[in-house]
Structure 1
Amino acid sequence: MANIKELSPDSSPQAAFGANLRRLREERGWKQEELGRRMGYSGTHISAVETDRKMPTLRLARSADQAFGIEQSPDTFERQWREIQHGTLLEGFGEFVRHEGRAAEIRLYEVGVMPGLLQTPEYAQVLANSAMERGAISADQAAERVALVAERQAATVRTPPPLIQVVLDESCIRRPIGDGAVMRGQLDRLAEFASLPHTILQIAPFSMAERRPFDLPVTIVTLPDRSLMSYAESAQRGHLERDNKFVVPLLAAYHQLQAEAPSQAASVAMIKRLRKGTP
């Protein structure tokens, strides 16, 4: 009897991924074991993905694209995987990441937690593990979240690199995430980031109080054609804004934030003092 999940490709993005994998495999007359051999997986693993019993990973998606020779196709398994992955994140974030990866300038303000572009792998892993332990995501999704952080950071290391301006609320460096080694590594990462020629890092101390123009995290992106967009999050969703009548005031407020915050030199000194006292 056919597996019901095989008959329901519209039930979820994961099911559609599995149905597409099976369709292309059968079009070529391959058994699951043959496709698995070409991709570096067992036939049992391929069967589990086809029937939505196992989540696909980025490695599997790319292996499938290579096995079928569709890496240059507009409808790749990697694209499907990204749609699945972004479905576990806030609405709007997936689209934002695509724009972030080609931005000429990135300005961001963060509260409470290090932004993904500055996280060390260890810091990102602690956050992903915590979400998994709460039951918010699966183990595979936790691994892919950490991988996504690395991919976002890699996209900013290009020639020429984007100008990245970061203002962190003091809570980002004060809030302990993981053990002392994780936080020491993360604080070292901030100091290294500030030393780069295309970055600016400032800490907005608690003493700024009501002089902060933002209460929530915000990112403003300048694209290669000099158009602007902003991305902001609440607890439930993200919002990508392209209308200049809303984005330009945010940019002005960001400049005010930078003017009020201590200089990069003073901010790095604060980070190093905290680093010295981190147990």
Structure 2
Amino acid sequence: MVNRKELNPEESPKARFGQRLRLLREERGWTQEELGTRMGCSGTHISAVETGRRPPTLRFARGADRTFGTGGKLERQSLALRQTALLEGFPEYVTHEARAAEIRLYEVGVMPGILQTPEYASALTARTVERGVITPEQGEERNALIAMRQGAVNRTPAPLVFVVLDESCLRRPVGNAAVMDGQFARLVEFAGLPNTVFQVAPFALGDRRPLSLPLYILTMENRALVSYAESAQRGQLERETASVVPLLTAYHQLQAEALSQADSVAMIKQLRKGTL
């Protein structure tokens, strides 16, 4: 214990993973060597991951989940911190999203990840790779992260999920007609769930729209608030309640101005029929 390194989970995503690994190990009374034996690696490797000197691979995280019985939580955390093509703050946001009691999303231009069908996500990623913005490997990580986020949201007990989509999300074609039809069907299905509220902010709102950029707001189990706002080049995670409350107020104002859920679903059905 003399050389025990104190961990600061706020330092980086790697540090947060390392702290969680250490806590799980110590809760069971295992040494680093004992955990290494159970996972098929050395105690030195365990030490390097715990102290943030070595990032956890996806294989390592999956092995840790099997050893601790954590049901994929470490894998999700590992996948999030490995996202080199995401804006600052988003990997950390994902770790909070997986534990939130309430999730509020406002998206512009594209469907939010937790609602994307595999076909929509793949088509969107393929274009991004084609433009050279990200590598094929980063594209695969993005798609895997989307699947992970959806799995976390579909947990039991399920979180309350509020979604407001700018009309541009519906109007922007991604992939072919079949991809968009499948995506519209997914939105209608989502709106019918007992733990969701779905609305569209139509173009007709004009300058009455209180938000113009994507915004995600989480309410944690202890009622703490977390927000993530994104522009074209930057992402910002905010955990100070005093800073998040005005954003939450703007979100409620947006919901009041947006179409009702029934009218939003009707718009999607009309788009599927080609009558809008």
Identical-pair percentage = 59
Verify the 8 A CA contact 1:176 1:183 in the aligned structure 2.
yes
**Alignment TM-score, normalising by the size of structure 2:** 0.73
1:126-155 CA deviation, whole Å, 9 max, x = no partner? 111112112222222211211110110110
1:83 aligns with 2:65: no
2:90 corresponds to: 93
2:139 corresponds to: 142
Q: 1:136 to 1:244 in 2, by over 3 A?
A: same
Verify the 8 A CA contact 2:184 2:272 in the aligned structure 1.
yes
1:260 aligns with 2:257: yes
The within-5 A match list for 1:125-164 is 125-164=122-161
Q: 1:243 to 1:78 in 2, by over 3 A?
A: closer
**Distance in 2 between the 1:131 and 1:61 partners?**
29
**Distance in 2 between the 1:136 and 1:253 partners?**
32
Verify the 8 A CA contact 2:80 2:95 in the aligned structure 1.
no
Partner amino acid, structure 2, of 1:167: V
**Distance in 1 between the 2:197 and 2:77 partners?**
33
1:189 aligns with 2:186: yes
The within-5 A match list for 1:159-174 is 159-174=156-171
**Distance in 2 between the 1:150 and 1:77 partners?**
12
Verify the 8 A CA contact 1:65 1:78 in the aligned structure 2.
no
1:235 aligns with 2:232: yes
**Distance in 2 between the 1:268 and 1:104 partners?**
25
1:207 corresponds to: 204
Partner amino acid, structure 1, of 2:182: G
2:20 corresponds to: none
Cα deviation for residue 57 of structure 1 reads 7.3
Partner amino acid, structure 2, of 1:200: V
Partner amino acid, structure 2, of 1:261: A
Q: CA RMSD in A?
A: 2.7
1:47 corresponds to: none
Cα deviation for residue 65 of structure 1 reads 5.4
**Distance in 2 between the 1:136 and 1:148 partners?**
17
Q: 1:99 to 1:269 in 2, by over 3 A?
A: same
Which consecutive unaligned segments of at least 5 residues does structure 1 have?
1-12, 14-23, 29-34, 36-55
Verify the 8 A CA contact 1:110 1:217 in the aligned structure 2.
yes
Verify the 8 A CA contact 1:61 1:78 in the aligned structure 2.
no
Partner amino acid, structure 1, of 2:81: E
Cα deviation for residue 83 of structure 1 reads 2.6
Q: 1:79 to 1:253 in 2, by over 3 A?
A: closer
Question: 4+ residue stretches of structure 1 with deviation over 3 A?
Answer: 60-67, 69-72, 76-82
Q: What SS is found at the alignment partner of 1:150?
A: helix
2:220 corresponds to: 223
Q: 1:156 to 1:142 in 2, by over 3 A?
A: same
2:173 corresponds to: 176
Q: What SS is found at the alignment partner of 1:158?
A: coil
- Picking from 104, 114, 118, the partner of 1:117 is 114
Q: 1:77 to 1:171 in 2, by over 3 A?
A: closer
Partner amino acid, structure 1, of 2:250: A
Q: 1:98 to 1:271 in 2, by over 3 A?
A: same
Between the two proteins, the alignment pairs up a number of residues equal to 223
Q: 1:61 to 1:125 in 2, by over 3 A?
A: farther
Q: 1:246 to 1:66 in 2, by over 3 A?
A: closer
Partner amino acid, structure 2, of 1:267: S
Verify the 8 A CA contact 2:80 2:92 in the aligned structure 1.
no
